[in-house]
Amino acid sequence: MTLRSKLTLMFFGALQVTFLTAVGTFWAVQSWQLLTDDLALVHEQNLRLERALEGSAAGTEPVALAARPRAAAAFRSLRDHAQTLEEADLVDALGRTISGPGEAGHPGAVRDAVVRLKGYYQAQVKALRERARFVTHLSTGLFIGIVALVLGGMMAYFTAIRVWLVRPIQALGRATRVISTGDLGHRIPVLGRDEFGTLAASINTMAASLAENQRRLVAAERFAMVGEMSAYVAHNIRNPLASIRVTAQTELLDLAADDPGRASFQDIVTSADRLESWLGDLLRFSSPVTLERTLEDVNALVERCVALARPLLARQGLALDLALDPGLGSVALDRNKMEQVVSVVLSNAIDASPAGSTIRIASARHAGPNGGSTASVRVQDAGRGIPRERLGTVFTLFATTKKSGTGLGLALAQKIVTAHDGTITISSHEGEGTVVEIGLPSHSAAGVGA
């Protein structure tokens, strides 16, 4: 429900309360007005009756109305103001007994007619009193109901304002204060689909964008630092390192096959090769990633990397479970660089898996945004897993858990995948192994050669 709909609902709620209050008040006023009019009419009829009986003895003896003009006028008024047929009949009967001949004008007959008419008026007064008591009780209940309705409406109104307006504004204020301190990972719970929910989602998107920009700025600064350092290292280490390796290799050629010194020189050559490889990774990482995209079969790319790793798998005593989707198809990518990414991930899986375990590699195609699709490669090892506190730093430069690791492999892999507009994610639980998933957008051939 949008904020406009909520405000409209509040308006109609207040309008309904006002309408019901007005209707109840109008009914109560009208009821009392009608009751008062009826009581006044009965009272006036009683007065007219008294005036009509003037001139007779105690109002019980027959005296011709023609001899009493005022009484005759009062009697006519009494007859004209009769409200019911019963009252009109009683008035007519009284008129006949007052001025009629014979027994009709007998004092006893006049007395009986007066008593009947006054009894009628007393019954009317009694009925009106009963009606007054009923109206009183109903008006009291109606008043209490109106008060309760107004108070309930006010409480509902202020509660709605607090829930629909005040609390969301306070939550947005608290969240923006937290984000302003630099905690770009803080998110506002999106609890509704109104304007505040849209604003909260926009702020969350903004915070995520700022966090991503901050990450890229930090990475750019780190890359700049690594670039300067790698240039210095390349200039000051690679040439002496090459001389050391050549010297050690020359000594190996001069030594006999059973000479005990060969092992030491072989260690020197191996260490020099490892250091040269590290320097190469460092230089590649510090340089910008330029892609030469061609349409490549992702499954064929994975199989080439697996073929290169099979000797190492055999030495480690590891099995390989390869489940490649035959319908994966081709993706526009830089073949050499993506082979480097898959090789790094597979090498890490081999290093982490104990002998006798199985490494599982699978490929699949998933639906992507805007009607596109994503080609994914999933590598799962059987190692001990990555501790939760270190899971967020696996792509950080120089962060490694291996004794002989450089902390450059996954950082370089992420840089290459990001240049392909793809994603690389790691999920791991201690004791259950690690899963690395590479996702590449499966665009058309328009990206070839980019």
Q: Could you give the CA distance from residue 409 to residue 42 in angstroms, rounded to a whole number?
A: 108
User: What domains sit in the chain, N to C, each tagged with a CATH number?
Assistant: 3-166 (1.20.120), 189-287 (1.10.287), 291-447 (3.30.565.10)
According to the model, what pLDDT value does residue 447 have?
Answer: 47
Q: Out of 218-227, 366-375, 383-392, 417-426, pick the least confident.
A: 218-227
Strand partners, 375: 365, 440
Token couple for 217: 């700025």
User: Quick one: which H or E segment has residue 425?
Assistant: strand 423-428
pLDDT at 405 > cutoff 60: no
Q: What pLDDT digit, counting tens, does each position of 84-110 carry?
A: 888 888 888 877 776 655 444 456 777
H/E element, 174 = helix 167-180
Which tens digits make up the pLDDT trace of 246-268? 888 888 887 777 787 788 888 88
For residue 360, what is the DSSP state? E
- The pTM of the full predicted model, rounded to 2 decimals, is 0.47
Q: What does the alpha-carbon distance between residue 158 and residue 220 come to, in Å, rounded to a whole number?
A: 51
For residue 35, give every residue at least 6 positions away whose Cβ sits within 8 Å of its Cβ, in sequence order, or none.
128, 131, 132, 135
CA distance 123 to 90: 13
* Highest mean pLDDT, choosing among 98-107, 285-294, 342-351, 361-370: 342-351
Task: Supply the pLDDT for residue 102.
Answer: 45
Q: What percent of the chain has pLDDT over 70?
A: 83
Give the C-alpha separation, 353 to 359, whole Å: 8
Confidence of residue 360 (pLDDT cuts 50, 70, 90): very high
For residue 310, how far is the Cα from the chain centroid? 50
* pLDDT for residue 58: 40
Distance CA 296, CA 82 (A): 109
Structure tokens at 286: 């510090």
pLDDT at 306 over 70: yes
Q: At what angle do helices 335-352 and 298-316 cross, to 10 degrees?
A: 30
pLDDT band with cut points at 50, 70 and 90 for residue 299: very high
The residue ranking higher by pLDDT, 52 or 306, is 306
Instruction: Give the model confidence (pLDDT) of 182-221 as tens digits.
Output: 887 888 777 777 777 788 888 888 888 888 888 778 777 7
Q: What pLDDT is attached to residue 445?
A: 40
223-234 mean pLDDT? 69
Residue 81 contacts by C-beta under 8 Å, 6 or more apart in sequence? 41, 44, 45, 48
